[in-house]
Amino acid sequence: MASLPPSDTSGHEGASSGERIGGQPADLDKDTLSFDTPGAPRKNRNAGAIINPRLGALGFARFVWRLLTSMRTALILLVLLAVAAIPGSLVPQRSSDPNGVVQFRTNDPELFEFYDSLSLFDTYTSPWFSAIYLLLFISLIGCILPRTSYHWKVLFEAPPAVPTSFARLEVTRTHRVEADLNAALDAAAAALRSARYRVVREGSAVRAERGYMRETGNLVFHVALVGILATLGFASGFGWSGQRVIVEGQAFTNQLSSYDSFNPGRFFDENALEPYGVRLNTFTPEYVMDESKGSWMPIDYTADVTVTEGQTSSGAALKVNEPLSVGGTSMYLLGNGFAPEITVRAPDGTVVFQQPVVFLSQDANLTSLGVVKIPDGLAEQVGMKGFFYPTATMLSSGALASSNPEPLNPTLTFNIYTGDLGLDQGVPRNVYELNTDDMTQIAGRHTDVDVELALGDSFELPGGLGTIEFSGLRRFIGVDIQHDPTQLGVGISTALAIAGLLVSFSTRRRRVWVVATAKGSATELSWGAQSRTDDPRLAASTDALIARIVPTDKVSS
């Protein structure tokens, strides 16, 4: 194959399969990333056609393989992949927006069931999406293999033989050189070599080719894509991620029980968690007033932490965009808010509850919601739903709102319930939710008793149950802790893919043949040049080669 100039290959049986990625005629391959040389040549151009009634199992398999590895199939799979990715942006995904999925279920349970049966909430792990990309990658591998072996061969071969006629080549030039045949050919070969052509002299002709890196880069790009998928397939099972809320003054130790939520990979092993501790000393947000909207916006979040590994402790700053690397994991600052410290005392003054309670913020001014559960120590189980306002301001409607994310007038309000907290049935309960089905409200909104506490205030629970006190105020941060073993492999593959892409797109593959004919004491040189890609500068580059030998005005095309 390599011995034929590209314009002749279209008539060759091996190149007749125009749709095969590995085998379209070279004249079709204009400046693309696709295969520009025939891969495994077809023995018979109708071998895969359906017209053969006795195809047999092997024949059928071959037919499917050809179909799958054809360029047209790859193209259709690419477009299908793009289309199949769309639903995942329209419907909330369990992976990126779990709350959205819950909301969807609440809003429309029937549609939820239907969508869920189509895996629409897990689009990117769904059978149909997986099927498309797996087929695409099989098709890709089916292209890469024959092309790599073919290109490998070509890399060590001499440039192709001189075509019988130059008539069909893109660029042809003829000129005289006042030198004998050998010297003229030497000069042509030298000009080609200095333009980084691979050059072979054969009799009265020179054959040359350059730009092999185009196909090399192309193959590297596609292999690197397979590398990304392979890394994801093999390495992601060893990764894990977990979430944790850390209140100022408290520490997190890296062990499974310390996580608020944990998502292990398939092959996760608990021993993989390296022991370390991270203590949150202070969390400092910074806000500015957005004058155009009249609202506060954050411009900086800094968590001052102490990291303890083994015997050594050191201070560090954890910020958005500046994750902390510790013990083979990365820790990311993803959330923050207030954790009012609440103290509950029994009528005799015994402290039955005293700790900072994480309140989740609901708006830009950090109006926050939280739940306190007191299962033991008081005459009855007590549950409280609280609102926290960093800067409480009375609206004209009489309701409270926060007007500033900084705690200028920190205020807590509570709805207080007594009854069964539902903690004794062994069912895991969300600490941020209070199920009041089996409880009776004794204070708060819609009752006669308002519970509104400034920092330091106490409140006597009705019926002499005890007292609650807003005894302190701290901040908390929400962190994500990840171990992602795919990063290295995906990173290397991506770098290779980009390198391959750049090299491939910036390289021109050209073939040049020079035939010499003795004309008395002088020599006539005929040049023929062919590009394997769209190459508007082919003529100019050929002329530049000739200009190294003779003045250009003596050249005819």
Partner 1 sequence: MENLVAYSLLATYSTMALYTLAFVLFTVDLALRADTEAGQKPTRWLRSAMALLILGWVLHGVATVTRGIAAARVPWANMFEFGLTATFVLVGVFLGVQFWRDLRFVGAFVSGLALLALGIVTVNFYVDVVPLPPALQSVWLVIHVCVAVLGTGFFATGAAISAAQIFQELHEEKRLSGRNWAFLRAFPEATVLETLAYRINVIGFVFWTFTLVAGAIWAERAWGRYWGWDTKEVWTFIIWILFAAYIHSRATRGWRGRSAAILSLVAFGAVIFNYTIVNLFFKGLHVYSGL
**Binding mask of the shown chain, residues 221 to 260, with x at each position contacting partner 1 by CB under 8 A:** --------------------x-------------------
Residues pairing with 519 in the sheet:
522
- Nearest CB to partner 1, comparing residues 471 and 486: 486
What are the φ/ψ torsions at residue 435 (nearest 5 degrees)?
-90, 110
**Binding mask of the shown chain, residues 402 to 421, with x at each position contacting partner 1 by CB under 8 A:** --------------------
Alpha-carbon gap, residue 154 to 32, rounded angstroms: 19
Q: Which of residues 62-81 bind partner 1 (CB under 8 A)?
A: 71-72, 74-75, 78-79, 81
Residues pairing with 417 in the sheet:
383, 441
- Nearest CB to partner 1, comparing residues 332 and 389: 332
Give the position of tokens 């087929």. 135
Contact between 155 and partner 1 per CB under 8 A: no
Contact between 332 and partner 1 per CB under 8 A: yes
CB of 362 to partner 1, least distance (A): 17
- By DSSP bridging, strand 400-402 and strand 411-419 are unpaired
Size of residue set near partner 1 by CB under 8 A? 64
- Nearest CB to partner 1, comparing residues 181 and 232: 232
CB of 236 to partner 1, least distance (A): 11
Are the C-beta atoms of residues 24 and 37 closer than 8 Å to each other? no
Contact between 317 and partner 1 per CB under 8 A: no
Are the C-beta atoms of residues 249 and 280 closer than 8 Å to each other? yes
Q: Which of residues 518-547 bind partner 1 (CB under 8 A)?
A: 534, 536
Q: Please give the distance of CA 415 from its chain centroid, rounded to a whole number.
A: 45
- Nearest CB to partner 1, comparing residues 74 and 179: 74
Are the C-beta atoms of residues 339 and 357 closer than 8 Å to each other? yes
CB of 396 to partner 1, least distance (A): 27
Angle at 193 between CA 192 and CA 199, to 5 degrees: 80
- By DSSP bridging, strand 522-531 and strand 510-519 are antiparallel
- Nearest CB to partner 1, comparing residues 83 and 544: 83
Contact between 441 and partner 1 per CB under 8 A: no
530 CB burial (10 A radius; 0-12, 13-18, 19+): buried
The C-alpha R_g of the chain, in whole angstroms, comes to: 37
CB of 398 to partner 1, least distance (A): 32
CB of 311 to partner 1, least distance (A): 28
- Nearest CB to partner 1, comparing residues 408 and 498: 498
- Nearest CB to partner 1, comparing residues 155 and 488: 488
**Angle, nearest 10°, between helix axes 127-155 and 71-85?**
140
- Per CB under 8 A, the list member of 23, 211, 323, 390 interacting with partner 1 is 323
Residue 43 CB partners (closer than 8 Å, separation 6+): 13
- How many other C-beta atoms can be found within 10 angstroms of the C-beta atom of residue 529? 23
Structure tokens at 31: 């400046």
CB of 41 to partner 1, least distance (A): 18
Contact between 10 and partner 1 per CB under 8 A: no
Contact between 449 and partner 1 per CB under 8 A: no
Which letter does DSSP use for residue 34 in this model? Answer: S
Structure tokens at 157: 């071969």
Contact between 170 and partner 1 per CB under 8 A: no
Q: Which of residues 471-510 bind partner 1 (CB under 8 A)?
A: 480, 482, 484, 487, 490, 494, 497-498, 501-502, 505
- Per CB under 8 A, the list member of 52, 105, 116, 124 interacting with partner 1 is 124
CB of 23 to partner 1, least distance (A): 11
322 CB burial (10 A radius; 0-12, 13-18, 19+): exposed
Contact between 12 and partner 1 per CB under 8 A: no
With residue 370 as reference, give the H or E element that holds it.
strand 368-374
CB of 386 to partner 1, least distance (A): 27
**Strand intervals (E) in 429-521:** 439-443, 452-454, 458-460, 467-483, 510-519
Alpha-carbon gap, residue 241 to 221, rounded angstroms: 30
- How many other C-beta atoms can be found within 10 angstroms of the C-beta atom of residue 73? 19
Contact between 371 and partner 1 per CB under 8 A: no
Residues pairing with 474 in the sheet:
339
CB of 244 to partner 1, least distance (A): 12
Q: What is the full DSSP assignment across 308-319? A: EETTEEEEEEEE
Contact between 261 and partner 1 per CB under 8 A: no
- Per CB under 8 A, the list member of 1, 10, 14, 18 interacting with partner 1 is 18
Contact between 334 and partner 1 per CB under 8 A: yes
**Binding mask of the shown chain, residues 19 to 58, with x at each position contacting partner 1 by CB under 8 A:** x-x--x---xxxxxxxx-----------------------
The one segment of 37-45, 290-298, 371-379, 515-523 that binds partner 1 by CB under 8 A: 290-298
**Binding mask of the shown chain, residues 81 to 120, with x at each position contacting partner 1 by CB under 8 A:** xx--xx-xxx-xx-xxx--x--------------------
* CA distance from start to end of the chain: 28
Q: Please give the distance of CA 503 from its chain centroid, rounded to a whole number.
A: 23
- Nearest CB to partner 1, comparing residues 204 and 302: 302
Residue 401 CB partners (closer than 8 Å, separation 6+): 365, 367, 389, 392, 393, 395
Residues forming the site for partner 1 (CB under 8 A): 18-19, 21, 24, 28-35, 71-72, 74-75, 78-79, 81-82, 85-86, 88-90, 92-93, 95-97, 100, 123-124, 241, 288, 290-292, 297-301, 319-323, 330, 332, 334, 480, 482, 484, 487, 490, 494, 497-498, 501-502, 505, 534, 536
